[in-house]
């Protein structure tokens, strides 16, 4: 029986992927680092620190430059994020959250983003979540299962009674490692290891998890 739904943020609740791309692209152009959309796909569901390591591709930079670049990217991202509203909630998600609340099923967020609370607030969804796990909650980011285990603990539900909603390969791997069932949103080649695979958020429903994975 499902007692909790645990949601990723980017690409599941709202699509900030393009904003992340624009922020990283601006930083890389300034620094003279190569960056394109193919590299950006590798950053889906990955922490900011690990994303920068992927972009650098073994290129060595001093610690000061590394930390300054992380902050600069986040500043650019927050600047772009300023205009986000509840109109940016992905299709079907608010309806699902309201249904879960009405049925007494716990709802938690498990995101690598350190801006997760701010984004939920801008979307007007904070009140629909019982717990928030974000980039400040655990040391190891996805594909480690830590943030999902943390979120389950926050709502007091066993891992085998949780369903995760994810759109990233790293997130699907993390959820499965935590011992949770997973709904994957996106193409088979990216989220094919999920228990259920759907092409869009509006197909994520309670009835879906009653079908055999």
Residues designated catalytic: 8, 10
Preceding amide of 143 cis, omega within 30? yes
| Tokens, residue 98 | 């309201």
Burial category of 17 from C-beta neighbours within 10 Å (exposed 0-12, middle 13-18, buried 19 and up): middle
Residues 6 or more apart whose Cβ sits within 8 Å of residue 77: 16, 19, 20, 23, 115
CB 23 within 8 A of CB 7: no
Q: How far is CA 12 from CA 27, 35, 126, 172, 201, in A?
A: 25, 24, 15, 13, 7
């Amino acid at each position: 029986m499902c007692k909790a739904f645990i949601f990723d943020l980017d690409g599941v609740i709202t699509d900030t992927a393009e904003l992340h791309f624009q922020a990283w692209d601006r930083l890389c152009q300034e620094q003279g680092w190569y960056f394109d959309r193919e590299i950006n796909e590798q950053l889906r569901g990955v922490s900011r620190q690990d994303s920068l390591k992927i972009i650098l591709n073994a290129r060595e930079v001093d610690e000061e430059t590394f930390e300054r670049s992380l902050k600069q990217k986040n500043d650019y991202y927050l600047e772009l994020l300023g205009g986000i509203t509840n109109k940016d909630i992905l299709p079907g998600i608010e309806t699902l959250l309201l249904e879960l609340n009405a049925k007494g099923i716990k709802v938690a967020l498990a995101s690598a983003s350190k801006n997760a609370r701010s984004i939920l607030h801008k979307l007007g969804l904070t009140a629909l979540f019982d717990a928030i796990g974000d980039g400040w909650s655990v040391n190891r980011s996805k594909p480690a299962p830590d943030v999902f285990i943390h979120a389950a603990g926050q709502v007091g539900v066993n891992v085998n009674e949780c369903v995760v909603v994810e759109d990233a390969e790293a997130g699907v791997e993390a959820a499965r490692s935590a011992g949770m069932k997973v709904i994957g949103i996106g193409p088979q080649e990216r989220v094919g290891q999920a228990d259920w695979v759907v092409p869009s958020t509006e197909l994520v429903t309670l009835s879906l998890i009653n079908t055999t994975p």
